[in-house]
Amino acid sequence: MSFQNNIFFQKVRDYSVSKEIFELHHNPEYDILITFPKPSLEKLPSYYESDDYISHTDGKRSLFERAYHFVKGIALKNKLKLINAQTQKGKLLDIGAGTGDFLVVAKNDGWQITGIEPSAKAKGIAIQKGVTFAQGLTELESNSFDVITMWHVLEHVPNLEEYISELKRLIKPTGTIIIAVPNFKSFDANFYGKYWAAFDVPRHIWHFSKTAIEKLFAEKEIKLVEVLPMKFDSFYVSLLSEKYRSGKMNFVRAFFVGWKSNLSGKKTNEYSSHIYILKNK
């Protein structure tokens, strides 16, 4: 995996924390965008230090946060249904578990759960809910999980190749890896451009297309078997994008753009976010 001969794509501001400007570079071989410069491992945690980083809190301070958690409840049921369709209940690893709500739902349904979460704040909330965590991937046994999930996490990892190799090591030969990431080729991404909230630089280091996911995992002998849309994401991302562009959340306009993005996705199969189901070759 070598990201060479990258082409400048556009500049994007970090609207939520630092207000710094970063560049996106396009690699045509993998059809992937890469945030440049990538923050150092020492500085990276500082870009997550915000009360508005909603996945690391259970906050319901505003109408937006309450709406987020309402939709999250629906999404949790859909995620559980998805993993149950892959295999009989067994061992589940959720990487980037946040405050642990998905793992709690899975545990209550009979799964043996393990989480990975770098945020001490989010992990503390999850532990109070009964979630069990590992300190890191390297301490886990090879070929030990029936399902590994990463819900909007792969775009955050500093070393992409090493991470995919670890996923390959940890999953059982008959297991399933489920990856959810934003799609920079969606209608809402093109509509909002540099204001598209799912660029979320520099926390999002990688910006994937379907081609990128298929090729990157194929190099580790993991096959992409299905791509599913995440239709709620277009509305959530459009709301934040409206805020970044105009300084306020225009609910009516954001809803219209989100609806139009999903309508476009039916024709192009390019939704705001995708779920990728991958299995060993």
- Report yes or no on 2 lying in a domain: no
| Spatial contact of 133 and 76, defined as CB atoms under 8 Å apart | no
Whether omega for the bond prior to residue 37 falls within 30 degrees of 0, making it cis, is yes
Per-residue pLDDT band for 249 (boundaries 50, 70, 90) equals confident
pLDDT value of residue 54? 46
pLDDT value of residue 68? 59
- Report yes or no on 101 lying in a domain: yes
Per-residue pLDDT band for 61 (boundaries 50, 70, 90) equals low
Per-residue pLDDT band for 13 (boundaries 50, 70, 90) equals very high
pLDDT value of residue 42? 93
Give the H/E segment covering residue 224.
strand 222-229
The total number of residues written for the chain in this structure? 281
Per-residue pLDDT band for 212 (boundaries 50, 70, 90) equals very high
Q: How far apart are CA 5 and CA 16, in angstroms?
A: 30
- Report yes or no on 70 lying in a domain: yes
The answer on pLDDT for 246 being more than 70 is yes
The answer on pLDDT for 47 being more than 60 is yes
Number of domains in the chain: 1
Per-residue pLDDT band for 207 (boundaries 50, 70, 90) equals very high
The answer on pLDDT for 117 being more than 70 is yes
Strand intervals (E) in 90-220: 91-95, 112-116, 145-151, 171-182, 206-207
- Report yes or no on 42 lying in a domain: yes
The answer on pLDDT for 96 being more than 50 is yes
User: What is the CATH number for 22?
Assistant: 3.40.50.150
User: Which own/partner contact pairs does 249-256 have at CB distance under 8 Å and 24+ positions apart?
Assistant: 249/64
The answer on pLDDT for 56 being more than 50 is no
- Report yes or no on 46 lying in a domain: yes
pTM for this one? 0.93
Q: Which residue range forms the structural domain that includes residue 54? A: 7-280
| % of the chain beyond a pLDDT of 70 | 92
pLDDT tens figures, 129-186: 999 999 999 999 999 999 999 999 999 999 999 999 999 999 999 999 999 999 999 9
pLDDT value of residue 121? 87
- In a 13 Å sphere around the CA of 237, the CA atoms on its Cβ side amount to 34
- Report yes or no on 139 lying in a domain: yes
Of 3, 63, 78, 1, the closest CA to residue 38 belongs to 3
